[in-house]
Each structure stands twice: as structure tokens, then as C-alpha cells.
Structure 1
């Protein structure tokens, strides 16, 4: 047995943790002794190539079924999707480190910066950074969220607006807002103008052009969007502002850390289930079908959502990217994720059933 006081032997044993416990108990000492015999005198650390080989072979060994040619590909798909979902969850939790949304006093001051000598007719605040129809998500909304209405779970904002007929042409209102925002230390990200046809009367017999001008700006961790409507409906706002928070600095490292841990957990869990259901296992075929269904249900929304969100980003200017979970099709396709999770849990439960060879051994031992 290799000496436990040898620093090289200790480091080799740490790398062997990538292998399943049964493998380490059976062949760990032999493998460490072989590695020590081939190491030159005086070496205290494994070579990089040795470390990579031990990690790679150990993670493959955790999957079992050495003759399988597709198992590694399935394991990679499972690890990646688990990592993505874990990263999205970690990012959402890290969003709670952001400063609260601007309150009524701050919103009113910013509104007066954009539109001097005018108080807002209404100010709406939100207690959460992401809401379902601007409201905090609760259990009563879960059924609608799961049944196709999950796209309404979006980033919330503090908003204020002024209603009535525009006191000036929209171009002049936008120009004044830009100038005053620059003077107040805001960084302007640009102006977009969208044109459409509006009804000139209640019968829509005559159409007139309507423009919607939007000014995007940021200052510190606050995003500002100013919208100007050239022909608002009666009692509708001709100018409105929305205030949001930028993505907190902790979101990126939290997503990376959570994603790596989730990917590792996905690989290890799939490896455990794969080794457990090696033949002769009574539920081997069912477990394979369940895990295949899980991967299909988890990956399908991603394959649909990524092109859609990417196209949306290209079509419209965005001060910041949509959150990671929207790129994964969540919570729009949350029902797919839920059914896939149930399928995965059922497969893990079936994997715990004893193998037939274990039953025969126990029968012979009792006889």
C-alpha cells in the first residue's frame, strides 16, 4: 500500500475521487502504487496530463457500461442542461442583491427632469424585480404560469406618466428630454422611433400616422426608458417613463458557479443511475425511456427559445440582455420542465430497485 505520508500519493488519491467508491476500494491502492512506480524521484505533484487523464477516466468510469458508445453523449447532454437550469436559478437568486427599485420620490424627481414643470399623473411601484403581470408570483398564479402564460413573468419597473394632449410636438419633447438627461448625468443609449397608423375618429374611417419615440438611458445601476406618443388616446399617457435596475454584479459569478455545480451533479446522478441499472436490472428499459423523455422535455424548450430570443434581441435595441431563464424557455414552457422533472425522479426511484443478481445472491446466502 502506498504511504499516506507521501504528498504525491495523497494528491493521486484526491484525483481518484473522480472514480466511484467501489472502484477505489477495489483498485485504488493498486493504481496509486502503479502511478508512484512510474513517477521520477523527487516529484511531489502529478503531471497535468496525468491529472487530466485520471479525471476524464474517472468521470467516464462513473457512468459504467464501458461497451456503450452513446452513454457519454447522453451524459453530456444531461450535464449541460442541468448546468443551464442551475445557472438560471442561481442568477435569479443573485438578482436579490440589487438595490430596490426607485421609490415614488426618486421617480417623481426623474420624471420632472424629463418633463420640466409637470408632475406625473400616476406613479406605479413594484415590490419585486420580476413579477407575473407586474405582481409578485404566488401559488394562485401557478396554474396559469404552467399552462402557457409563463411569458408574462418579466422584469418589473417603476413607472410614471402624464396624460392628456401633448403640449409640444414629440420631436421637441424628445429633444428636451435628451438635453436635460445629459445635464443630469444620464448616459443616453439611443432613440428609436416606431411608426404606425391610428384612427382619426371612432369609426376608423380615416387613418393618421402615429409615432412612438423611445429614449433609453442609464445612470449607475438604473435604466431609464422614456416613451413619447404623438397621438395618445383620451386619458392615455403621451409621455411615460420606466425605471429598472441593471443586472447586479453578483449575477454572472453566481450563474457560473451554480452552472458548474449543476453540471457536475447532473453527471454524477446520471452516472449513479446508469451503474445501478446495468443488466440484470428489472427496470433497466423503463429507466432508459424515462431519462430519454426527461432530456427531450428539458431540451425542446431551449431549442425553441434560443432562436426566438436571439431574433428578438436583433430586432429591437436592448439596454441589457434578457435573463438566462428566458433563453431556456422558462417559465414560458415550465410545464415541460415540470413533467421532465417528474420523469427524472420516477427514473431515479426505479433505479433504486435491487438487481436480479443481488436477489439471487441473497437467496443463496439464506439457503
Structure 2
């Protein structure tokens, strides 16, 4: 019985930091075993006390507090992004490029491979758009047959007519046919629109736009929030574990200061995820920004992570030297 009790308390002591266990572990274990003989068996209190020690920062070390706040903020943003990324792995897969181009050719009646545009929605989900100009008459029945033949369920199909002046150097309007349709298939949504001229000299000149995207998974908001909370806690715990090594703390603070830009971007993305309309109704709510900002964000993220890894290695090396 004593052996089982001792093993049980040793497992509970893992709630405390290693340095604390090395310094006071034997004393705590002896006290716990004495209390167990008197019928007292602290469990939850012991775990909470250990976790409190893990979150504790050394007194009179302002750099440690700065590093801890930075770590919580940065890793919170990274955790939010990770939670969103994991959630989207459970969503329906968008059609491949070949499937998208084949569907476009069948829908529009315009042969050939149309240009594709892969974008990221405001909720950080994938989408693919096909845009093509060519010569093909408008046919609502062709649209219906193309969609139902590939497993799509049409949810709306509207037609209208109008007149437009095609070019600035023209003064006479030309009749035009408009079409807008939406469809669903499994966890995917589809939106399409068409502009087809029906009058000379532009008869059957057509412009089509088709976009497909997945409905957001039910877990995306919970996982985004959970990732944020996990990142906040992990950041603080990381610095608390390294705070007694000045060099390691300085490296962490420097690295996390460099990572504030990507953290800001991650929080903006998380806000968009949490406030995006339910059901992913708007395929045009996309963020296609690239270039210098994206590159700088990536560089800052890598620099911050490298600094954290270096700080961890430095701290572990010093622990090993002391133990030796």
C-alpha cells in the first residue's frame, strides 16, 4: 500500500517544475506520506499548487515579465492560426484544377483550359475561381445539365436581360443576357454568373465567373478559441520555465519582439474567423494580399521561433552543466 501511495504522489509531483522537484520534492513527498497515514490524501490541491509554481515568475525580474507577456501574446496568435488550420483540414476538399476546368468547359460551352485563381477566404478557407471569356450562347438548360450531371444540387438559377454600351467609342447599346446560379455538393458551395451579348456585333460574346469553396467546419470557431487559449498558456509557461536563465530570457524576449508582426496578423485572421457569417455565404469575401507583407511576416515568424528554440537549448545546456 505504501509503495502504491508513494508512486501515486510521485506522479502528482510532476505538476511541479523540475527545478522545484529537485529542490523540495523529497520534502514534499515525505510530508504527503505522513499525511496519508493520518487519512489525508491531497490530490487536486497538489496539482493546482504545482501548476501555480509553473506559472510563477521570479521576483524583481522585469525582463521576465516582459518576455512572458510577449510570449503569451505571440503564441496565442500562433495557437489561433494553428487551431484554424487544423479545423480546415476537416472540411470538404475543393475540386482539383482538372475538375474545375472540366466543369467550367461544360457549364460555359467554351472549350480549353480556363485560368484558375486559388484564394483564401476571410475565414482562412480555400477557394478556387474560374474566369473565362469566349464565344458561346447563353443556355440555362446547359447550366442545369452540367451541374446535375456532376452531382451538384442547384439552389438558385436566375436569368435577366438588359442593354449595355460595350465600349466607350460606341453610342448604341447592345442587348445582353445575365445569368446567376448557386449550387451545393456535399460540403461545397458554388457560385456562377454569366454575361452573354445577344445582339450584333457582339453576338454570343460571353464572360463567365465560377467560384467553388467549402462550408466552414463546425469546429472552426471552437478550435480557433482553444488554440488561442492554449497558445497564451504555453507562452507564459515557456518563459516561466526559462526565466531564471538571463541569457535564455533575453533571447526569448528578442525573438518574440520580432514575432509581434505575425502575431498581429494571426489575431486579425482569428477575428475574421470568429466574425465571419455562418455558413460561408459570400465567396467574394477573400483576402488575396501577397508580396512584401507576407514575406516579412514569414521572416519574423521564423526569427521568433529560432530565438525561442535557441533559448530552450541554452537553458537545457546550463541545466545539464549544473547537474554534471
TM-score (norm 1): 0.55
The answer to whether 1:24 aligns with 2:14 is no
Residues 73-88 of structure 1 mapped to structure 2, 5 A cutoff: 73-88=69-84
RMSD of aligned residue pairs (Cα, Å): 5.8
Confirm whether residue 224 of structure 1 aligns to residue 219 of structure 2: no
Q: Deviations over 1:217-268 (max 9, x none)?
A: 2121443222222559888644444445556799899878977876665444
Q: Is the 8 A contact 1:295 1:340 kept in 2?
A: yes
| Aligned partner (choices 244, 253, 258) of residue 275 of structure 1 | 244
CA separation in 1, counterparts of 2:285 and 2:14?
A: 39
2:80/2:270 contact within 8 Å kept: no
For the residues of structure 2 that align with 1:157 and 1:103, how far apart are their CA atoms?
Answer: 12
Q: CA separation in 2, counterparts of 1:260 and 1:305?
A: 15
Q: How do 1:169-208 residues align onto structure 2 when only pairs under 5 Å count?
A: 173=140, 186-187=152-153, 199-203=165-169
In structure 2, what is the equivalent of residue 339 of structure 1? Answer: 300
Structure possessing the higher relative contact order (Cα contacts under 8 Å, 6 or more residues apart)? 2
1:122 to 2:121 alignment: no
1:117-266 to 2 correspondences below 5 Å: 119-124=109-114, 134=118, 155-157=126-128, 159=130, 163-164=134-135, 166-167=137-138, 173=140, 186-187=152-153, 199-203=165-169, 214-229=180-195, 237-244=206-213, 266=235
Unaligned runs of 5+ in 2: none
SS across alignment from 2:167: coil
Matched, 1:13 2:10: yes
- 8 Å Cα contact 1:123/1:159 also seen in 2: no
- SS of structure 2 residue aligned to 1:24: helix
- Structure 2 counterpart SS, 1:300: helix
Number of positions where the alignment pairs a residue of Structure 1 with one of Structure 2: 306
2:54 to 50, 59, 84: 59
What CA distance in whole angstroms lies between the structure 1 residues aligned with 2:49 and 2:291?
Answer: 37
What does residue 139 of structure 1 align with? none
CA contact (8 A) 1:77 1:295 kept: no
| Gaps in structure 1 of 5+ consecutive residues | 127-132, 136-150, 363-367
Q: TM-score, normalised to structure 2's length?
A: 0.61
